Structure 1
Amino acid sequence: MASTKIFAAEFVCGGGFRQRNVAAIPKPLRDEGTAMLKALSADLSALGEVIVPLDLRVDVELPPGVRAFPIDASLPLWSQWIAAAQDCDAAIIVAPEHSGALAQAVAMMRAGAVDPVMSSGDFLRIASDKWETARAFASQLVPHPPTFSIATIDSIDPNLANQWIMKPRDGVGSERFVITDDLEAAKAQLQADSVLQPYISGLPASISLIVSGTQMHLLPAVSQVIDPHTGEYLGGSGPLDQDLQRRATALATRAIEAMPPMAKGFIGIDLILGEDARDDCVVEINPRLTTSYVGLRHMVEGNLAEWILGQGTGPIRCKVSAGEVRWTPDGQVWHGSESLEVC
C-alpha cells in the first residue's frame, strides 16, 4: 500500500518572505514559525511522507524523513505550494492573518484542488479580524475586553482603564502592539486597520481545540508568558490546574458557539483569567496552529497530528500534572527539569 503523503506549509519558512532580505524577517516570526513547523512535521512524519515547502535561506533543520520542496523567489508562492501539495492526501497550513495571508493561502490552495485541514468561510474571516471577533462576542455576550475602532472611539469612557492597548485588527503576536497610559494620544494615533482596548489584568492563558467533522476536542489550557511592556510572546507552561482548566474550557466553548460555522482543524483561543471567574475573558481566536503546539504535544497521550487529520479516536487525554511542561518561542521544551529534544 502506498504511503500517505502530507503537505505541511508554514508561511515564514515556506517562502512568505522570499522577496525580502532574510535578515529583515522579524525574529519572533522566524523563531515561532520554525518551532511550529519542526514540531508539526515531526508528528506528521509518524503518519506518512511529509512534504514541506522551504525557503532555503531560512535555517531550518527538518526532522528525519521530512522532504523539502525548495521555493523559487522569482515565482508566485501559492502556485509553488499547490505544485508541492498536488499529489498529497492531506494538507495543513500555518500562516499569519496579517494582510489576509492565511485566508488567501486557504482560498488559493482550494482553487488549486488542494483542500487543507483549515477553517474557512465566515469563521475564518471573523476570527482573522479582531474588530469582527469583538462584534461577534458582544452579540452573544461572550466576556471580552471592550473593543473600539476609529469609528467608535468617541464613546470611550476614560475611567474604564489606566492603560490601553492598540493593535492591528489582523495583527500577529506583538506586531504594532502598543501599550500606553495616554488615552488621548492613542485615540489620535488609532488607524482604520487597528483597534483600541483597555488593558485587562490577570493571567494570560490559551486553550486550543481541534475540530474534525462534528467533533470538537479541547486540549489542556496553558499559561502564556507575555512581556508586559511590549506584548511579546515569551513562551508558556502547562497544563493549568483543574479549576483554571474548567474556567478556560467554559470560556472556549462559549467563544466557539458565538462564531459562525466552518471551524476546522487546529484553533487557538487566547484568554485572560482573573482572580475570580467573573473577571475571565476571551481575547481572540487564532484560526490556525499556534506556538503552544510545541508544548501541548508533550502533555497529551498519542500524536496530536492524528486528531488534526481526523484520524484520532476517543478523547485527548492529558498525561502530565499542572505546570510540568514549559517552552520558549523558539521551540525549546522542558518537562520538569528535563530538557526535551528540540524538534
Structure 2
Amino acid sequence: MRVFVGEFLCGGGMASTHEDQISSSLLREGLAMWRALVTDFAEWAQVVTPIDPRLNLRVDRMPDSVVCIPLRSGENVREQWLTIAKSCDIALVVAPETDDELGGMIQTFREAGVDVLATDLATLRMASDKWFTAKWLMEHAIPTPQTWAMESNLTASEARRSNGIGPIGLDAKRWVRKPRDGCGSDSIVVFDDWKSACSTMPSNNLVQAWIEGRPASVLVLGGAIEVSDLVICPAVWQHCRLREDDSGNAIQTDVCTVCYTGGSGPIETELQSRVVSLAEQVTRALPEPLRGFLGIDVVLGDRMEDDCVIEINPRLTTSYIGIRQMINENLTSIWNPSAVRNSDTSGERRITGRQLRVRTNQIRWTSEGDVQIEPPLDGDS
C-alpha cells in the first residue's frame, strides 16, 4: 500500500519564500509533525512524500519504506503534489486553513479522484472559518464562548454586546480577537476593553469572550474500513502565555498577544471525561462520519457547566507528536487494511476509541516540536 503524506512547510508550501525568511520555529514544528507521520505510516505502508530540496531535511534518516520526492523549483506546488498523490492509495495533507491552503489542496485532490484522509466538505468549510464554527456549535447546542464578527452588524459607533452569539462568557472581563481562518496562535490579540476589540476589528477577524479556565485539546481520528470507526485520543493540556503587545501603539495599553508554547499530557483522569464529552458532542453532530484527523480545542472551567469548545481544526495538530508517545499503538494503523481484524475474530478493529492503552509517563512538547518523556510517578508502571 502506498500513502502520500504532504506537510505544507517541509513539502514546498513556502517555495515562493526565500528559505532565509521561513520561520525557523514554524519549520521545526512542521518537521516534527512530518517525521512523526511518515515514521508511523512507514511501519505498515510505503510512504511517498514531497520535500522542499532547499531545506536540507536529512532524509537519509528516514525509514527505507519512505520515498522523498524533491519538488522542482518554479513549478506549481499543488500540481506537483497532485501528480505524486495520484500514484498512491490514500493521501494525507497537513496545511494551514489560512487563505484556504488546506481546503484548496483537498478539493484539488478529490476532484482528481485521490482518496484523501480528510473531513467531508461541509465540515471542512465550517471548521476552516472560526465564525462559521461558532454558529455551527450554537446550532447544535454545544457550549462555546460568546462571539462577534462583522456579520453581527457591529459598527465602531454602535457596538452592542447583545449582538454576539454563544452562551459562555457573558460576564467576561477580557476578549480575544483572532483571524477567522487563523492557524495556531497566529495574530491572536487579547483586549481588556470589549469596544476596542470590536471597533478596530478587521473584516476577516472575530472577537470571542475570554474564558477563564485551562485550555486543553483532544485529537480524534476516523475513517477505517467501516467509516464510523472512531479513535478519541487522550486529552492534553495546551500551554499558552500572554505577552504585552509589541506593536508600539501607546494608546492600546490594555492589549496583549497570545503565544502557544507547547503542551503536555495526558490530563488528569477525572478531567478526561469532561473533554471526551465535548468531543463526542462535536463528532455526533458532524454531517458525515469522520474520516481523517480532527482537533478540538476546549477550555475547562472551574465547574463542568463552564466547559466549552473554542475551535475545531479539520486536520492534524501539533499535539500528535506528543500523543503518539502516550499510547502503545500506532494511531495510523486505523487506516491499514491489512490489520482490520483482531485475533479474536470479534469483528473489531485493532484500534478503537475504547481500547487505547495509555502509558503512565507524562509527555511534554514545545511548539517547535521538541518532545520530553518524563518517568512514571512512584507507584506507576
Aligned position for 1:341: none
| Equivalence map 1:1-343=2 (5 Å) | 4-62=1-59, 63-65=62-64, 66-152=66-152, 153=154, 154-156=159-161, 160-212=171-223, 213-229=227-243, 230-261=257-288, 263-309=290-336, 311=339, 313-315=350-352, 316-321=355-360, 324-337=362-375
Following superposition, the deviation at residue 140 of structure 1 comes to 1.6
Following superposition, the deviation at residue 334 of structure 1 comes to 1.9
Following superposition, the deviation at residue 329 of structure 1 comes to 2.1
Residue by residue over 1:115-170, the C-alpha shift from the partner in whole angstroms, topping out at 9 and shown as x without a partner, is 21111210111011100010011112111111110232433169732211110111
Give distance in 2, aligned partners of 1:226 and 1:279.
19
Which moves more between the two structures, 296-305 or 244-253? Answer: 296-305
Give distance in 2, aligned partners of 1:58 and 1:179.
35
Question: What secondary structure sits across from 2:131 in the alignment?
Answer: helix
Give distance in 2, aligned partners of 1:89 and 1:308.
11
Q: For structure 2, which runs of at least 5 residues remain unmatched after alignment?
A: 165-169, 244-256, 340-348, 377-381
Q: Which amino acid aligns with 2:357?
A: C
Q: Which amino acid aligns with 1:313?
A: R
Give distance in 2, aligned partners of 1:73 and 1:189.
40
Residue by residue over 1:89-108, the C-alpha shift from the partner in whole angstroms, topping out at 9 and shown as x without a partner, is 22111111111111111011
| TM-score, scaled relative to structure 2 | 0.83
Following superposition, the deviation at residue 5 of structure 1 comes to 1.6
| TM-score, scaled relative to structure 1 | 0.92
In structure 2, do the counterparts of structure 1 residues 61 and 202 end up closer, same or farther at CA, with 3 Å as the change threshold? farther
Give distance in 1, aligned partners of 2:351 and 2:36.
23
- Aligned residues between the structures: 334
Identical columns (%): 35
In structure 2, do the counterparts of structure 1 residues 28 and 164 end up closer, same or farther at CA, with 3 Å as the change threshold? farther
Say what the alpha-carbon RMSD is for the aligned residues: 1.9
In structure 2, do the counterparts of structure 1 residues 17 and 259 end up closer, same or farther at CA, with 3 Å as the change threshold? same
Q: For structure 1, which runs of at least 5 residues remain unmatched after alignment?
A: 339-343
Following superposition, the deviation at residue 113 of structure 1 comes to 2.6
Larger Rg: 2
Give distance in 1, aligned partners of 2:87 and 2:293.
23
Residue by residue over 1:14-52, the C-alpha shift from the partner in whole angstroms, topping out at 9 and shown as x without a partner, is 111101112323344322211110110111111122111
Give distance in 1, aligned partners of 2:132 and 2:306.
22
Question: What secondary structure sits across from 1:135 in the alignment?
Answer: helix
Following superposition, the deviation at residue 86 of structure 1 comes to 2.1
Q: Is the 8 A contact 1:123 1:262 kept in 2?
A: no
Following superposition, the deviation at residue 331 of structure 1 comes to 2.2
Which moves more between the two structures, 70-79 or 35-44? Answer: 70-79
Which runs of 4 or more aligned residues in structure 1 lie more than 4 Å from their structure 2 counterparts after TM superposition? 308-312
Following superposition, the deviation at residue 193 of structure 1 comes to 1.0
Residue by residue over 1:158-190, the C-alpha shift from the partner in whole angstroms, topping out at 9 and shown as x without a partner, is 973221111011100122211121322222221
Give distance in 2, aligned partners of 1:253 and 1:216.
10
Give distance in 1, aligned partners of 2:86 and 2:230.
28
